[in-house]
C-alpha cells in the first residue's frame, strides 16, 4: 500500500509538490542545520535532521497558521539542530545553558556595522562566484556551512587533501580580488 501511494504520488502533480517542497527548501534547511551546529556535525546527522524537519513539516503543518513556508522550515530546522546540540551536550556531560544553545542573534548589533558587513558579504559572494567551480563551492561549504574538508570532498568528488589545497589557493585569490575593492580579510 505504501509503495503504491508513493508511486502514484510521484507520478501525480501532487506528488511532485511534495518533491517541489523538498527541492525548494532542502538546501536551505541543511544550511540552517549546519550553521546552527557551527560545523560540529557530521553530514549524516545533518541529513537526519533535515529528514525529520520535512517529515514533521508535512505531517504537522497547519496551513491556517503556517505563514511563510521558508520561515517555518527555517525555524523547524533550527529547532531540530538545537535539540541535537542539547542531546549531544548531555551525552558528553557538558551543560549548555539554554540561552547559549539558542544562538539568538544579538539584537544590539550596531546598525551601521551591520550594513557595512552586508555590503562586504555581498561583494565577497560575488567574488567567490567568480572563482568558478569547484573553488566557489569549496569556500562556501567550508566557511558558510562549516563543513569539514572530508565532507566537501564528497560533494565535489575530490580527495580531502585536494580540497584543502584548492581552498588555500582560492582564498589567496579571493583576498587579492577583495583588496582591489578596498576590502581586506
Nearer CB in complex with another protein: 17/95: 17
Q: Write down the least CB distance from residue 104 to another protein, Å.
A: 13
Picking from 53, 104, 56, the residue whose alpha carbon sits closest to that of residue 80 is 53
> Cα torsion at 81, 87, 89, 90 (round to 10°)?
160
Contacts of 23 (CB under 8 A, 6+ apart): none
Q: Is 114 in the site for another protein (CB under 8 A)?
A: yes
Contacts of 154 (CB under 8 A, 6+ apart): 43
Q: Is 50 in the site for another protein (CB under 8 A)?
A: yes
Q: Write down the least CB distance from residue 112 to another protein, Å.
A: 12
Of the candidates 40, 115, 130, 159, which one interacts with another protein according to CB under 8 A? 159
Chain positions 118 to 157 lying near another protein, rule: CB under 8 A, are: 118, 120-121, 124-125, 129, 133-134, 136-137, 139-146, 149-150, 153-157
Q: Is 177 in the site for another protein (CB under 8 A)?
A: no
Picking from 40, 169, 181, 45, the residue whose alpha carbon sits closest to that of residue 122 is 181
Candidates 19-27, 85-93, 94-102; binding stretch for another protein (CB under 8 A): 19-27
Amino acid at each position: 500500500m505504501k509503495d503504491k501511494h508513493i508511486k502514484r504520488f510521484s507520478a501525480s502533480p501532487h506528488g511532485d509538490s511534495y518533491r517541489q517542497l523538498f527541492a525548494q527548501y532542502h538546501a536551505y534547511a541543511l544550511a540552517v542545520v549546519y550553521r546552527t551546529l557551527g560545523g560540529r556535525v557530521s553530514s549524516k546527522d545533518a541529513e537526519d535532521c533535515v529528514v525529520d524537519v520535512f517529515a514533521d513539516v508535512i505531517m504537522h503543518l497547519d496551513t491556517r497558521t503556517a505563514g511563510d513556508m521558508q520561515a517555518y522550515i527555517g525555524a523547524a530546522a533550527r529547532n531540530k539542530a538545537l535539540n541535537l546540540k542539547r542531546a549531544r551536550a548531555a551525552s558528553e556531560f557538558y551543560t549548555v545553558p539554554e540561552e547559549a544553545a539558542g544562538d539568538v542573534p544579538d539584537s544590539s548589533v550596531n546598525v551601521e556595522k551591520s550594513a557595512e558587513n552586508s555590503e562586504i558579504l555581498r561583494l565577497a559572494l560575488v567574488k567567490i562566484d567568480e572563482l568558478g567551480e569547484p573553488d566557489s563551492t569549496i569556500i562556501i561549504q567550508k566557511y558558510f556551512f562549516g563543513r569539514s574538508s572530508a565532507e566537501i570532498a564528497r560533494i565535489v568528488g575530490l580527495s580531502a587533501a585536494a580540497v584543502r589545497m584548492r581552498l588555500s589557493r582560492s582564498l589567496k585569490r579571493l583576498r587579492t580580488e577583495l583588496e582591489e575593492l578596498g576590502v581586506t580579510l
